[in-house]
Structure 1
Amino acid sequence: MPEQTAISTAGAPQNDNPYSQGVLADDLLFVSGFGPVDPETGAEVEGGIREHTHRAMENLAAVVREAGGSLDDVVKTTVYVADMDDYDAVNEAYADHVGETPPARVCIEAARLPEDVRVEIDAVAKVA
């Protein structure tokens, strides 16, 4: 059975729901889904889908950094969008955060996301 450690950082939004921001199981980090919420204010960032995607990726990156990794260590993401018409704009913003070898990814349209945000992203990373 892998050793599991909860990962938490002030660099990503906190809440009182029953889940961890991330869980490190041996060298695999499972990062919960993050939307476009500013961790300092707890409010959704202003702007359109590009700004929302950037904030979601920054939140995700904060958890990966707290576990000792970087976005280059992410091997899989799932992107949830409220409207698949935003797909191209999400891709443009997402591409700014991934390296030469982007992680494997799934993108799905969700009928409704928490707090009615337009994008949420989760990840799996391999951190040493």
Structure 2
Amino acid sequence: MTNRAVIHTDKAPEAIGTYSQAVKVDNTVYLSGQIPLNPETMELVDGGFEAQAEQVFKNLAAVCEAANGSLNHIVKLNLYLTDLDNFTVVNEVMARHFRQPFPARAAVGINQLPKGALFEAEGVMVL
């Protein structure tokens, strides 16, 4: 049987549905999608797309740290944008939070996200 553990931290938003912030199996951590919620208020951050992207990566970083890793341990990242015109901005924000070699990544344009968020990201981290 594999070594399976649920990862949780108060430094990232509580789950707003039937999921865990992350699940670790052996040395792989599956990170649930993070939207730009302030973990203290559970409200979306103000300031438009760039501020939301910053909060999403802060939330992901908090979950990575709770699993004894960092954003730079992420090997696959999936991004969901309600407006693909923000693709350049998300690249700029990512460049502030990740270092090379960057993770494999997909960016998907979607119609809407929970709570009216403009951006969500989820990924896989290997420790």
State the secondary structure of the residue aligned to 2:93. Answer: helix
Percent identity between the two aligned chains: 35
Poorly superposed stretches of 4+, deviation over 4 Å? none
1:44: which partner in 2?
44
Alpha-carbon distance in structure 2 between the residues aligned to 1:120 and 1:25: 23
TM-score, normalised relative to structure 2 = 0.96
Alpha-carbon distance in structure 1 between the residues aligned to 2:113 and 2:64: 22
Unpaired segments ≥5 residues, structure 2: none
Q: Which amino acid aligns with 2:9?
A: T
Number of aligned residue pairs: 127
Q: Show the 5 A alignment for 1:1-128.
A: 1-127=1-127
TM-score, normalised relative to structure 1 = 0.95
CA contact (8 A) 1:78 1:106 kept: yes
State the secondary structure of the residue aligned to 1:88. Answer: helix
Give the alignment's Cα RMSD to 1 decimal.
1.0
- Deviations 1:15-47 (CA, angstroms, capped at 9, x unpaired): 352100000010000000001110011111111
